[in-house]
């Protein structure tokens, strides 16, 4: 009899323990399944606008236009960086709830240090959340859905690092490295100016279905098309931040080349200024007006996308 009673008591303890575990587990699962934890956007192809606001006052609006994304309606975003951002938006997930001992500090921190993320499809706002400080030894970051009371620790599976970096958009760093974004269907005018060689300068203008070159009755259409193709492929080598002495030495001399491009829709308009660098065999210093930023461009590439006027009009005699 005593043996049976002991077995019954042990069974009762196991049943009660199982019920307690189920209750706690169900409560936690329920907590993580609320709308306040649904940070992911699985259909990122539907996104048309991403608004990012930093607590320090920086704001960026990234808008989809056809197959490209524009930062603040003027700068074409780098495709690789955009893929990384969209993947983060797609994969972001909740790692765990914030513990009671962490909550007060986490709430204080997100009030002073966060990136606000607004995601739109068409004109509709899908969701808004805040990405806060780094947690869990760089394996998670604070996440808070707008309007919610409870913050969570979020992460991107397979990514170790500060989650906020995925959403930290700086327009000057995110600009696509292509210098000129154009094609014959949207190009209005391109001017190639050699300050030290006016005879080599020219303007190519789209007019009534044809491209015409300034002061040239007929241009070689094949060469003109190649020029436009090379122009569209042009890219900077790297962004640079020259010191004042270097900057003064560059800007005090006459530019070697200035190319200005205008598109019909105004998107991608750019002026590229290049200075000669006889002491550097590989690259030229350059300036892009749209961002007021300096860069380097490779000399061999400039030789392809910056012809002289005669290069587009001279015909082979062979």
According to the model, what pLDDT value does residue 293 have? 86
According to the model, what pLDDT value does residue 273 have? 96
**CA distance linking residue 19 with residue 2, whole number of Å:** 26
Residue in the block written with tokens 């300034």:
214
According to the model, what pLDDT value does residue 9 have? 53
Least Cα distance to 41 among 50, 32, 54, 33 occurs for: 50
Least Cα distance to 62 among 75, 45, 46, 80 occurs for: 75
Those residues with Cβ within 8 angstroms of residue 37's Cβ, 6 or more apart along the chain or in another chain: 31, 94, 145, 152
Whether 312 has a pLDDT exceeding 90, the answer reads: no
Query: Could you tell me the pTM of the whole model?
Result: 0.66
* Cβ atoms of 199 and 106 closer than 8 Å: no
* pLDDT tens, residue by residue, 260-291: 999 888 877 899 999 998 889 999 999 999 87
Higher-pLDDT residue of 110, 182 = 110
User: What does each C-alpha distance from 38 to 127, 140, 146 come to in angstroms?
Assistant: 9, 16, 12
114: which 2 tokens?
């966060």
According to the model, what pLDDT value does residue 23 have? 43
Residue 151, class by beta-carbon neighbours within 10 Å (0-12 exposed, 13-18 middle, 19+ buried)?
buried
Least Cα distance to 265 among 73, 123, 77 occurs for: 73
Those residues with Cβ within 8 angstroms of residue 121's Cβ, 6 or more apart along the chain or in another chain: 46, 47, 48
* pLDDT tens, residue by residue, 6-33: 555 545 445 445 444 444 444 444 455 5
For 192-260, the DSSP string reads EE-TT-GGG-EEEEEETTEEEETTBS---HHHHHHHHHHHHH-B-SEEE---HHHHHHHHTSPPSEEEE
According to the model, what pLDDT value does residue 297 have? 94
**CA distance linking residue 263 with residue 261, whole number of Å:** 7
**CA distance linking residue 269 with residue 188, whole number of Å:** 10
Average pLDDT over the chain, rounded to an integer: 83
* pLDDT tens, residue by residue, 110-164: 888 899 999 999 889 999 999 998 887 778 899 999 999 899 999 998 887 788 8
Range in 43-47, 149-153, 224-228 with the lowest mean pLDDT:
224-228
* pLDDT tens, residue by residue, 229-261: 899 889 998 888 877 777 778 878 899 999 999
Whether 43 has a pLDDT exceeding 50, the answer reads: yes
**CA distance linking residue 99 with residue 152, whole number of Å:** 9
According to the model, what pLDDT value does residue 15 have? 47
Residue 93, class by beta-carbon neighbours within 10 Å (0-12 exposed, 13-18 middle, 19+ buried)?
middle
């Amino acid at each position: 009899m005593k043996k049976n009673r002991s077995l019954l008591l042990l069974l009762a303890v196991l049943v009660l323990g199982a019920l307690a575990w189920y209750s706690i587990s169900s409560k936690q699962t329920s907590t993580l399944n609320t709308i306040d934890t649904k940070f992911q956007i699985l259909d990122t192809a539907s996104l048309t606008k991403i608004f990012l606001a930093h607590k320090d006052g920086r704001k960026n609006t990234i808008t989809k236009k056809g197959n490209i994304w524009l930062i603040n309606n003027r700068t074409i975003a780098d495709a690789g960086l955009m893929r990384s951002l969209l993947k983060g938006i797609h994969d972001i997930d909740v790692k765990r709830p914030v513990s009671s001992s962490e909550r007060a500090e986490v709430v204080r921190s997100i009030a002073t240090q966060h990136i606000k993320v607004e995601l739109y499809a068409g004109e509709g706002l899908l969701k808004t959340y805040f990405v806060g400080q780094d947690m869990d030894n760089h394996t998670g970051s604070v996440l808070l859905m707008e309007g919610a009371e409870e913050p969570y620790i979020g992460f991107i599976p397979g990514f170790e690092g500060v989650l906020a970096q995925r959403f930290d958009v700086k327009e000057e760093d995110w600009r696509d490295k292509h210098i000129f974004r154009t094609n014959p269907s949207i190009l209005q005018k391109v001017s190639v100016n050699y300050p030290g060689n006016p005879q080599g300068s020219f303007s190519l203008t789209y007019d009534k279905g044809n491209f015409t070159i300034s002061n040239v009755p007929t241009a070689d259409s094949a060469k003109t098309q190649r020029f436009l193709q090379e122009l569209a492929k042009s890219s900077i080598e790297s962004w640079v931040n020259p010191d004042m002495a270097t900057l003064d030495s560059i800007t005090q001399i006459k530019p070697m080349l200035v190319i200005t491009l205008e598109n019909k829709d105004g998107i991608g308009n750019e002026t590229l200024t290049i200075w000669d660098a006889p002491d550097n065999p590989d690259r030229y210093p350059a300036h892009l007006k749209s961002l007021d930023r300096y860069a380097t461009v490779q000399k061999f590439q400039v030789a392809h996308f910056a012809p002289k006027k005669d290069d587009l009009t001279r015909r082979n005699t062979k």
